[in-house]
């Protein structure tokens, strides 16, 4: 009987995981409120369209698969609890809990001796005024939960109207971070199996536009000590939360040379899509291997790679990209090309 991987979530990460699983002869079952016709649902073996709090549907789903993973870190803890009582659940409760809240993940990092930007918990205007005063410089105010692609963030300078900023964010669970001047951003990615063995990918260097990842170049063109420090920090974080699956960690390389933790995601990460062509084992294949108990695959990079995201407004480039030699085009099957929506990506080899 073939192994079936359960995937919570219906987006492009679930889609690329399902494709990688299929290549290994594994079946997939996508569970999401909008599974039918979704990017992941289109390519999965089986779909369940149900809400994340439908306990009966969750139990049937968990009983129909061998292991479950989530393509997004904001899956409710209760959902994973129901599933985890029935089958192997990745990435694990502690990993989700930490990654779901910006203060929780930065507190975890700090406790492990991993430097982060200075940060303050902000629940109201008083907290914000005190934090801005203590910081005395440029800042970013972010919602602690549910942020992605730079959403739920606002930059602040001393003297700005703090009440207006807080009102625009519309949350009483926020974090104020010092604005880091950086030379670059990098991300690390590792896989960890149920026995605690770890396998790293080469790090990636990332460039954002309007808070959205625009381009990753890998292996990151940084000195080995920096890449190693990022991987060491990722290892410490993965072990601290007893992670099973993938852990991606984003860092700033500050202008003063310090490597600072930004955030972590216990799932496949946009900055490692280049591994589909750039490595014998992509991030999606590695996750499928961990979930199916197949052991780690080789993660060496075949040369240097560049990955560019295609947002809704970039879709007019598709005909040109289709005609371009050496370009690997991935489209996610999303019907509506909205502004800033991730519609696909392109990967190309830069050289040896």
Query: Which partner from the list ligand ATP, Mg ion, none does 228 bind, CB cut-off 5 to 8 Å by kind?
Result: none
Q: Does 253 bind ligand ATP (CB under 6 A)?
A: no
Q: Does 140 bind ligand ATP (CB under 6 A)?
A: yes
Q: How many residues does the chain have?
A: 352
Residue whose CB is less far from ligand ATP, 42 or 153: 153
Query: Which partner from the list Mg ion, ligand ATP, none does 173 bind, CB cut-off 5 to 8 Å by kind?
Result: none
Q: Single out the segment in contact with ligand ATP by CB under 6 A; choices: 37-45, 60-68, 149-157, 191-199.
A: 149-157
Report which of 82, 27, 26 is spatially closest to residue 51, judged by C-alpha positions.
Answer: 82
Which residues, in sequence order, are bridge partners of residue 248? 189, 265
Query: Which partner from the list Mg ion, ligand ATP, none does 149 bind, CB cut-off 5 to 8 Å by kind?
Result: ligand ATP
Choice from 185, 193, 308, 314 touching ligand ATP (CB under 6 A): 185
Calculate the alpha carbon distances from 220 to 242, 284, 299, 305, 306 in Å: 27, 20, 14, 9, 10
CA dihedral 220, 224, 225, 231 (to 10 degrees): 60
Q: Does 202 bind ligand ATP (CB under 6 A)?
A: no
Whether 340 and 315 have beta carbons less than 8 Å apart is answered as no
Q: Does 208 bind ligand ATP (CB under 6 A)?
A: yes
Helices and strands counted in the chain (H then E): 11, 18
Q: Which residues contact 115 (CB under 8 A, 6 or more apart)?
A: 109, 258, 259, 260, 261
Residue whose CB is less far from Mg ion, 58 or 139: 139
Q: Single out the segment in contact with ligand ATP by CB under 6 A; choices: 9-17, 43-51, 123-131, 143-151.
A: 143-151
Q: Which residues bind ligand ATP (CB under 6 A)?
A: 117, 140, 147-151, 177, 179-180, 185, 208, 211, 213, 250, 262-263
């Amino acid at each position: 009987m073939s192994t079936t991987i359960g995937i919570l979530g219906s987006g492009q990460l679930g889609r690329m995981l399902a494709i990688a699983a299929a290549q290994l002869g594994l079946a997939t079952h996508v569970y999401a409120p909008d599974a039918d016709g979704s990017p992941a649902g289109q390519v999965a073996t089986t779909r369940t369209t149900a809400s994340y709090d439908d306990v009966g549907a969750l139990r049937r789903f968990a009983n129909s698969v061998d292991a479950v993973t989530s393509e997004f870190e904001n899956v409710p803890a209760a959902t994973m609890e129901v599933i985890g009582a029935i089958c192997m659940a990745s990435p694990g409760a502690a990993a989700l809990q930490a990654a779901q809240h910006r203060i929780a993940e930065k507190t975890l990092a700090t406790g492990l001796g991993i430097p982060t930007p200075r940060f303050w918990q902000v629940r109201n205007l008083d907290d914000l005024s005190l934090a801005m005063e203590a910081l005395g410089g440029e800042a970013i105010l972010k919602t602690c939960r549910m942020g992605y692609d730079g959403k739920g963030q606002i930059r602040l300078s001393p003297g700005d109207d703090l009440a207006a900023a807080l009102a625009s964010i519309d949350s009483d669970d926020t974090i104020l971070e010092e604005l880091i001047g950086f030379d670059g951003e990098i991300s690390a990615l590792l896989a960890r199996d149920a026995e605690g063995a770890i396998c790293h990918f080469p790090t990636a260097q990332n460039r954002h536009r309007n808070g959205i990842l625009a381009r990753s170049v890998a292996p990151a063109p940084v000195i080995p000590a920096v890449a190693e420090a990022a991987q060491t920090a990722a290892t410490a974080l993965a072990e601290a939360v007893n992670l099973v699956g993938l852990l991606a960690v984003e860092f700033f390389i500050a202008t003063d040379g310090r490597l600072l933790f930004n955030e972590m995601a216990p799932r496949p990460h946009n900055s490692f899509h280049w591994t589909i062509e750039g490595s014998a084992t992509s991030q999606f294949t590695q996750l499928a291997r961990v979930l199916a108990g197949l052991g780690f695959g080789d993660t060496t990079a075949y040369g240097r790679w560049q990955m560019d995201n295609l947002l809704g407004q970039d879709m007019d480039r598709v005909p040109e990209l289709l005609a371009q030699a050496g370009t690997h085009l991935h489209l996610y099957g999303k019907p509506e090309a909205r502004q800033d929506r991730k519609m696909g990506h392109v990967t190309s080899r830069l050289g040896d």
